[in-house]
Structure 1
Amino acid sequence: MTHIDTISISSDIKKQNHLIIAGLVFVIASIIIFINADLYAKTPDSYAPVVVRGLTTFSFLFFGGITAFLLFKKKDDKVLYMNNKGIIDQTNASSVGLIEWEDIVEIEAKNIFSGKFLLITVKDPEKYLQKAPIWKKIILKLNALTAKTPFSITLNSLQLDAETTTELVKENYRKFKFNE
């Protein structure tokens, strides 16, 4: 078996801070729109304020959750590791941790909704899904609808650029899987 020294990649703190600021802007906008939802009513019996409040509540929870995750996450965390066992992904809230090289069928770089991702296709997705809490399973299954696989590594927030990270992961995959 080929030995691979552990490689770790940190998140980019500058990018992370920009995401926190953007998240706070969306949270504040959601609160302001929620408070002023009655302005959207064209008639006294209009459902527009209810719909607006529902959408802004969702927006507040979604962006508030992401912002809180980024705020309370350690800034110096290493978020992506590779070793002789596989890839240990901690790039986002829906990451599953260790994905073993032997389970990986394909690694593909792809842009989805203006974000750069590494899509990891595995032989048996249920092996990883069964370990995840219910909220994470829902997110992973939604990922599968968009990306054709539930497992993706976010490349936008890493210190290394997307191309370098992609090549590093693929190179280590080939080394382990095919003993190159």
Structure 2
Amino acid sequence: MTKIEIPLSKKKMFLALLGSLIFALLGMAFILNPEKFVSYIFRNAELIRISGIAAIIFSTLCILYISIKLFDKKPGLTIDQKGITDNSNYNKVGLIEWNEIIGIRTEQVMSTKFLLIDVRNPEKFIKNASTIKALLMKANMKMYNTPLSVSSTALKYSFENLENLIETEFEKYKEKPNS
């Protein structure tokens, strides 16, 4: 099999960066003038100010990560005879070998679809992750019974094509030992 490399979508990442900047500006407005945002639902100006701080922290982390990814030359996803290497999101784990994968399923949260990769030994991936990644993976484990997921959100590829490609390659290589 030839190696299949799917690039990161600079356009999608730029739009995410723009969205993060808007979210940061909204957070700044919440901090500087919380009284203006007091409503029937949010009656407490201090709660609005705290929400603004949280928005700025979250959006700053997103801006930093997306800015780094915009200049990342590595493919977003690589699929070959060894397995799947995901470089498309923060929760990347490196190579997921075909013989470690026991199943692939689709999940959707709001409008975002993603593939869940069920593996023989999920703790291996969690153990090898940094502290923050391990926390995110444990949350995935609680919700979906697997720490690993792949999405086309940051890829120059549609979800439907990604789903078909990964399922086809999994069927082709799941019984073969990795070389």
Q: Given the two structures, how large is their TM-score scaled by the length of structure 2? A: 0.86
Look up the match of 2:45. Answer: 49
> Which SS does the other structure have where 1:108 is aligned?
strand
1 CA distance for matches of 2:161 and 2:68?
A: 28
> Which SS does the other structure have where 2:66 is aligned?
helix
Deviations 1:130-152 (A, max 9, x none): 01011111111222334332211
Look up the match of 2:76. Answer: 79
Look up the match of 2:147. Answer: 150
Tell me the CA shift for residue 53 of structure 1: 2.5
Choose the corresponding residue for 2:117, options 98, 115, 120.
120
Tell me the CA shift for residue 38 of structure 1: 4.6
Q: Could you tell which deviates more after superposition, 129-138 or 141-150?
A: 141-150
**What is the aligned length?**
172
Tell me the CA shift for residue 96 of structure 1: 1.3
2 CA distance for matches of 1:155 and 1:145?
A: 22
Q: Could you tell which deviates more after superposition, 65-74 or 126-135?
A: 65-74
Corresponding letter in the other structure for 2:106: A
> Which SS does the other structure have where 2:135 is aligned?
helix
**Structure 1 runs, 4 residues or longer, greater than 4 Å off:** 38-42
* 1:13 and 1:75 in contact (8 A); partners too: no
* 1:121 and 1:151 in contact (8 A); partners too: yes
Q: Given the two structures, how large is their TM-score scaled by the length of structure 1? A: 0.86
Choose the corresponding residue for 2:6, options 6, 9, 12.
9
* 1:37 and 1:53 in contact (8 A); partners too: yes
Look up the match of 1:99. Answer: 96
Which ranges in structure 2 are unaligned for 5 or more consecutive residues?
none
> Which SS does the other structure have where 2:49 is aligned?
helix
172 and 41 in structure 1: CA distance in 2 versus 1, 3 angstrom threshold: closer
> Which SS does the other structure have where 2:76 is aligned?
strand
Corresponding letter in the other structure for 1:115: T
> Which SS does the other structure have where 1:78 is aligned?
coil
* 2:89 and 2:154 in contact (8 A); partners too: no
* 2:151 and 2:159 in contact (8 A); partners too: no
Which ranges in structure 1 are unaligned for 5 or more consecutive residues?
none
2 CA distance for matches of 1:30 and 1:55?
A: 7
Matches within 5 A, 1:156-171: 156-171=153-168
Is residue 62 of structure 1 aligned with residue 58 of structure 2?
yes
2 CA distance for matches of 1:146 and 1:59?
A: 24
> Which SS does the other structure have where 2:140 is aligned?
helix
